[in-house]
């Protein structure tokens, strides 16, 4: 297929269980595309089932990039993803194919299309001190401190998100400036030669919630519990990003005989629904320029979507 010389990049975003992965697959098969991951949990090699990573069969049907590429033992960040994804997009375009970036992590899409703040390197001593304080004082105490020095950032971070709390306070104590000030000042890394064309799959909330509930039960049938058991056997630091994957902590609590399996399922489903709600809000507010599909993706939507894609993909 002859791809436009304007370097189009299709962005397929949406909440968990919205059908965006199936849409990306259909686009890739129709327009000679390569699917590139924009989900912060699907980068981990150890978690395929519980993160709904594409199956081996899907990966054999069309090329996939940045899925299962790092170990759960590693720290991963939006900055590392931004570096990798730009290289992957350029490689796909150099092969004359269409890059299709898909996922549900809003900050990844933001980093790709708007860049990242140019924050100086944080000293290791400050990182270590914040990690010590998080463990000793807890997230509530760090969140109260963040409110006093960077209220804007504090409003976007929950007391339970220790990693982001530490990051915001590290920036403040290292540079003397709020993280929100750095972000407002200017971003770097936006690939000016790329043309982004965003699609958002946004099903009705009740339909989405039913799909989420059913999908988690299906994951258990596919072996999610064994997958989490193997992760638990690694003895990882609970603060590592991989431990935030929906269902990991809940199923680990079951494996540790702290809660029943039905309780673990109920909690995981609720956390996933709440996450989807936040995703819907984020994409609606942060990607207003996107073409929005107010339905779960299905075959009936193909004509409308493919017509939209042909406008900028084909020469």
Give the number of domains in the chain: 2
User: Residue 195: inside a domain, yes or no?
Assistant: yes
Side-chain half-sphere CA neighbours of 199 within 13 A: 29
pLDDT at 5: 59
Asked if 179 and 256 sit in the same domain, the reply is no
Asked if 74 and 124 sit in the same domain, the reply is no
Asked if 111 and 54 sit in the same domain, the reply is yes
- Contact present, 120 and 174 (Cβ < 8 Å): yes
Listed residues 185, 214, 243: the one ending a domain: 185
- Can you tell me the mean pLDDT for 72-99? 93
- Can you tell me the mean pLDDT for 105-126? 88
The residue range of the domain holding 245 is 8-116+188-313
- Contact present, 97 and 32 (Cβ < 8 Å): yes
**Whole-prediction pTM:** 0.83
Asked if 61 and 151 sit in the same domain, the reply is no
**Per-residue pLDDT band at 245 (split at 50, 70, 90):** very high
Is the model's pLDDT at 302 over the cut of 70? yes
Asked if 18 and 91 sit in the same domain, the reply is yes
Digit-coded pLDDT (tens) for 168-208: 999 999 999 999 888 777 566 667 789 999 999 999 999 99
User: Positive or negative, the Cα torsion across 115, 80, 10, 107?
Assistant: negative
Element (H, E) at 148: helix 139-149
Distance CA 132, CA 70 (A): 26
- Contact present, 69 and 45 (Cβ < 8 Å): yes
What is the DSSP track for 67-132? SS-B-TTS---HHHHHHHHHHHHHHHHHTT-EEEEEES-HHHHHHHHH-EE-PPPPPHHHHHHHHH
Asked if 71 and 176 sit in the same domain, the reply is no
Element (H, E) at 207: helix 205-222
Other beta carbons within 10 angstroms of residue 288's beta carbon come to 10
pLDDT at 2: 60
Asked if 200 and 305 sit in the same domain, the reply is yes
Distance CA 100, CA 30 (A): 12
């Amino acid at each position: 297929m002859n791809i436009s010389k304007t370097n189009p990049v299709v962005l397929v975003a949406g909440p968990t269980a919205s059908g965006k992965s199936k849409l990306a697959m259909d686009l890739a098969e129709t327009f000679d595309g390569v699917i590139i991951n924009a989900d912060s949990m699907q980068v981990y090699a150890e978690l395929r089932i519980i993160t709904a990573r594409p199956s081996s069969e899907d990966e054999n049907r069309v090329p996939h990039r940045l899925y299962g590429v790092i170990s759960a033992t590693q720290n991963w960040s939006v900055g590392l993803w931004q570096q990798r994804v730009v290289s992957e997009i350029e490689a796909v375009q150099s092969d004359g194919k269409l890059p299709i970036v898909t996922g549900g992590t809003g900050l990844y899409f933001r980093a790709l299309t708007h860049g990242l703040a140019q924050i100086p390197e944080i000293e290791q001593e400050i990182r270590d001190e914040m990690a010590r304080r998080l463990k000793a004082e807890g997230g509530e105490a760090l969140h109260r401190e963040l409110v006093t020095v960077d209220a804007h950032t504090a409003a976007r971070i929950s007391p339970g998100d220790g990693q982001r709390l530490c990051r915001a306070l590290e920036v403040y104590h290292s540079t003397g400036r709020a993280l929100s000030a750095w972000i407002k000042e200017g971003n770097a890394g936006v690939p000016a030669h790329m043309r982004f064309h965003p699609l958002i799959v946004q099903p009705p909330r009740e339909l989405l919630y039913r799909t989420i509930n059913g999908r988690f039960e299906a994951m258990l049938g596919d072996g999610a519990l064994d997958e989490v058991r193997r992760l638990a056997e690694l003895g990882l630091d609970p603060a590592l990003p991989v431990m935030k994957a929906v269902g990991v902590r809940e199923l680990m609590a079951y494996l540790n005989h702290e809660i029943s399996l039905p309780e673990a399922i109920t909690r995981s489903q609720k956390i996933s629904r709440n996450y989807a709600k936040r995703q819907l809000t984020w994409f609606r507010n942060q990607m207003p320029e996107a073409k929005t599909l107010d339905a779960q993706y299905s075959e009936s939507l193909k004509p409308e979507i493919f017509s939209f894609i042909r406008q900028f993909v084909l020469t």
